[in-house]
Amino acid sequence: MSDTIGMMVGFLGGTIVTVETGYRVLQHPKPDKVFRRFADAKWFLAVRWCDQYDTPAGILTSTGQLSFHNQPAAQMGDDRFLPPLMRPSLFEQCLALPAGETATVILPEQRDQPHRQLLILAVEIDPRYGKVALVLEHPLHLA
């Protein structure tokens, strides 16, 4: 069985190619890794997108759950990174965005944290579940 390349798709700074046996991500550390589902290859790239940053980043679902977060977000703590009461409104902003578009949100000052700026990117990883919000903390520059 050959691994003839069919289509190539760019997603979150990575490349997914179709092969006879599934989907291969060119940036995967194991070059022979083949994902059976397109959504699994996209999920790998979404996690990789979060992991590339040295500021807190994560994947927020429609249920208000952080389904993944990078090491800086883990060190900060899920609830400090994205306060649970704010997650529904953050996700609502995501739903209003066309896929691939971004929005910037300023989180209000909390008792132990100054104002924080978040970048929200709406992406669809698996059409069965709809959009997810990729959330990245950005340095805040107030004038």
Of 29, 52, 75, the residue that ends a domain is: 52
Same domain for 48 and 69, yes or no, is no
Q: Which two tokens stand for residue 23?
A: 């989907």
Same domain for 46 and 65, yes or no, is no
Domain that holds residue 126: 54-143
Same domain for 129 and 63, yes or no, is yes
Mean pLDDT by 10 residues, the chain (143 residues): 69 89 90 92 94 93 90 91 88 80 78 78 86 84 46
Structural domain total, the chain = 2
Same domain for 63 and 45, yes or no, is no
Same domain for 46 and 88, yes or no, is no
| Cα–Cα distance for residue pair 60/79, rounded to 1 Å | 12
Backbone phi, then psi, for 105, in 5-degree steps?
-125, 135
- The reported pLDDT for the residue numbered 142 is 47
Same domain for 141 and 74, yes or no, is yes
In the block, tokens 């107030």 appear at 142
| Cα–Cα distance for residue pair 11/29, rounded to 1 Å | 17
What percent of the chain has pLDDT above 70?
87
For the sheet containing 22-25, what is the strand order? 8-11, 14-19, 22-25
